[in-house]
């Protein structure tokens, strides 16, 4: 009986030690949780945006050669006016991009539905409509 317990203990210890190695058996212990779910495509757009805003790989004060052209929101659709300018990268994020995206998110909100019938109210009152 003691030999079986010792054998089981040695086997459990060996299994625990193989899980701590960096080989193919224990490689998942050295990765962030859920790393196997993201195969690289999930966070790439966000990372690319951040790298572009920080002018990654460029010198500080780098002026982007392609001009930025934007439609003036106050111009009439029949006579559109465009702004043209250069972007100078300081290499720092100042939060303006996040503010613009947040403002667009807030502006896209719609008021709650004014329908009085159906939904949770109908379920709670027992009038399921059927």
Q: How many helices (H) and strands (E) does the chain have?
A: 4, 4
Which position has the higher pLDDT, 48 or 22? 48
Say what the pLDDT of residue 72 is: 83
| Distance in angstroms (rounded) separating the CA atoms of residues 84 and 122 | 55
127 has a pLDDT exceeding 60: no
Report the pLDDT averaged over residues 87-116.
79
Secondary-structure percent of the chain, ordered helix, strand, coil, rounded to 5:
40, 10, 50
8 has a pLDDT exceeding 70: yes
List of residues 6+ apart from 86 with CB closer than 8 A: 63, 64, 67, 68
Which position has the higher pLDDT, 20 or 129? 20
Say what the pLDDT of residue 20 is: 66
Is 28 contained in some domain?
Answer: no
Report the pLDDT averaged over residues 97-115.
83
List of residues 6+ apart from 11 with CB closer than 8 A: none
Is 13 contained in some domain?
Answer: no
Is 84 contained in some domain?
Answer: yes
125 has a pLDDT exceeding 70: yes
0.85 surpassed by pTM: no
Is 3 contained in some domain?
Answer: no
Is 73 contained in some domain?
Answer: yes
Domain that holds residue 66: 52-94
Q: Is 23 left (phi over 0), alpha (psi -120 to 50) or beta?
A: beta
| Distance in angstroms (rounded) separating the CA atoms of residues 68 and 109 | 28
Is 86 contained in some domain?
Answer: yes
Count structural domains, the chain.
Answer: 1
Give the pLDDT band (50/70/90) at residue 28: low
Is 39 contained in some domain?
Answer: no
Please state, for a pLDDT cut of 70, what percent of the chain lies above it.
Answer: 64
44 has a pLDDT exceeding 80: no
Is 113 contained in some domain?
Answer: no
């Amino acid at each position: 009986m003691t030999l079986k317990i010792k054998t089981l203990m040695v086997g459990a210890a060996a299994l625990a030690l193989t899980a701590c190695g960096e080989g193919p058996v224990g490689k998942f212990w050295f990765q962030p949780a859920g790393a196997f779910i993201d195969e690289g495509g999930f966070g790439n757009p966000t990372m690319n945006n951040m790298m572009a805003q920080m002018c990654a790989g460029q010198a500080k004060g780098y002026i982007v050669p392609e001009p930025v052209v934007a439609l003036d929101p106050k111009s009439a659709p029949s006579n559109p006016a465009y702004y043209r300018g250069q972007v100078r990268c300081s290499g720092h994020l100042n939060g303006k991009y996040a503010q613009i995206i947040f403002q667009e998110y807030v502006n896209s909100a719609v008021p709650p539905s004014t329908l009085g019938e159906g939904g949770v109210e109908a379920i709670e009152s027992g009038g399921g409509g059927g």
